[in-house]
Amino acid sequence: MEALLEDLAAAHRPSSPVGRIPASIPHLSAADPLGFGIAVATVEGEVFGAGDADVPFSIQSISKLFSLALALAGDPGEALWRRVLREPSGTAFNSLVQLEAESGIPRNPFINAGALVVTDFLMERLGDAGEAVLAFLRGLSGSARITVDGDAAAAELAASSRNRALAHFLADFGNLHNPVDAVLTHYVRHCSIAMSCRDLARAGLFLARGGVASPDGPRVLSADNAKRINSIMLTCGMYDAAGEFAYRVGLPGKSGVGGGILAVVPGRCTVCVWSPGLDAKGNSVAGTAALAELTARTGWSVF
Ligand code: GLN
């Protein structure tokens, strides 16, 4: 496994900057454009890494996976699903158009509108949603060094006109129960969590293990909800590139504009890749290519 990951890192680390870094989050341009990390965490508890597998990066929308898991874990009555749908959007992650057409009910929990509702939902139940997601990630990965990058959060908040517009739309339709400013603050805080591929691969393992964090560890989610999150990752995790990612990689995955992607091979392992250059849909160029080669070489796929 180590040799395979070394191979992938050598083949996919960019030799010159590829793609683009989003202008909407000024802080992300500080990342090394030639960075590349990859880690695999197995259901048996082994973790392998190559390249910059231990370099922390901004997890951005990958945090939406963990906010959703926390929300579902505390929602036996499925109240969340009356406020968010489970359909791919086919539009950009920060698009406003469907929100008006669908009366303030976001298409899925991974586009920004849906994630803002999930954050609001967590705030109602747990108070501090940013801290709750951070504590959840620390617990799952066993790594206390994971932090919120406060400068990145402040920079994103100051540049959040688009998300503010989405939040006001939601509020106007009665689908935010906390003040817009508070929801945005909690949302950017969980998006600005910085952690490494190795820690993220470990944190996502409950999705490969049917909801259980470690072989002898606690159940994080019901097996049904773990299956459902994997399904939503497959159909919505890469936004309007979900079809292309399913075609090329064949795994549930969740991307973030920090350049990370977390993919799940149910029953076997999780894979986390990071490289900051993004394609036009906001997904890591080198990360997607590396995952496509990994699944082609190993045969790991849900299909
Ligand atoms: N924090 C980012 C935003 O709200 C997350 C987007 C992403 O990673 N796709 O725009």
The preferred substitution site among 24, 61, 188, 238 for testing ligand 1, maximizing ligand atoms within 8 Å of CB, is 61
What's the 199 CA to ligand 1 centre distance in angstroms?
20
* Ligand 1 pocket, residue 94 CB under 6 Å: yes
Q: Would you say residue 217 has pLDDT above 80?
A: no
Decide whether any atom of ligand 1 lies within 6 Å of the 259 Cβ.
Answer: no
- Percent of the chain residues past pLDDT 90, beyond the cut: 90
The average confidence (pLDDT) of the chain is 95
Q: Is 250 in the pocket of ligand 1 (CB under 6 A)?
A: no
Question: For the residues 198-222, what does the mean pLDDT come to?
Answer: 93
- Say yes or no: CB of residue 109 within 6 Å of ligand 1: no
pLDDT tens digits along 51-84: 999 999 999 999 999 999 999 999 999 999 999 9
Q: Would the CB of 58 count as within 6 Å of ligand 1?
A: no
pLDDT at 21: 86
Q: What is residue 74's predicted lDDT score, i.e. its pLDDT?
A: 92
Query: What is the distance between the alpha carbons of residues 247 and 156, in angstroms, rounded to a whole number?
Result: 32
Task: Kindly give the number of the ligand 1 atom that is closest to the alpha carbon of 93.
Answer: 9
The CA 167 to ligand 1 mean position distance, Å, reads: 14
For the chain, what percent of residues have pLDDT higher than 70?
Answer: 100
pLDDT tens per residue, range 105-160? 999 999 999 999 999 999 999 999 999 999 999 999 999 999 999 999 999 999 99
- Residue with the smallest CA separation from ligand 1 atom 2 is 60
pTM listed for this prediction = 0.97
As a whole number of angstroms, the distance between CA 209 and CA 220 comes to 10
Residue nearest to atom 3 of ligand 1 (CA): 112
Please check if 156 is assigned to a binding site. Answer: yes
Confidence of residue 33 (pLDDT cuts 50, 70, 90): very high
Give residue 284 CA to ligand 1 midpoint distance, Å. 13
**Cβ of residue 112 lying under 6 Å from some atom of ligand 1:** yes
Q: Is pLDDT of 24 > 80?
A: no
Q: What is the pLDDT of residues 240-281, one digit of tens each?
A: 999 999 999 999 999 999 999 999 999 999 999 999 999 999
Q: How many angstroms is it from 257 CA to the middle of ligand 1?
A: 6
- Residue 23 pLDDT exceeds 80: no
- The number of the ligand 1 atom at minimal distance from the alpha carbon of 282 is 9
The rounded Å distance from CA 64 to ligand 1 centre is 9
Asked whether the predicted pLDDT for residue 188 surpasses 90, the reply is: yes
Query: Residue 45, by phi and psi: left (phi above 0), alpha (psi -120 to 50) or beta?
Result: left
pLDDT attached to residue 218: 81
pLDDT at position 101 is 87
Residue 61 Cβ contacting ligand 1 at under 6 Å: yes
| Ligand 1 atom closest to residue 112's alpha carbon, by position in its atom list | 4
- Could you give the CA distance from residue 150 to residue 135 in angstroms, rounded to a whole number? 16
Q: Give 63 Cα–ligand 1 centroid separation in angstroms.
A: 9
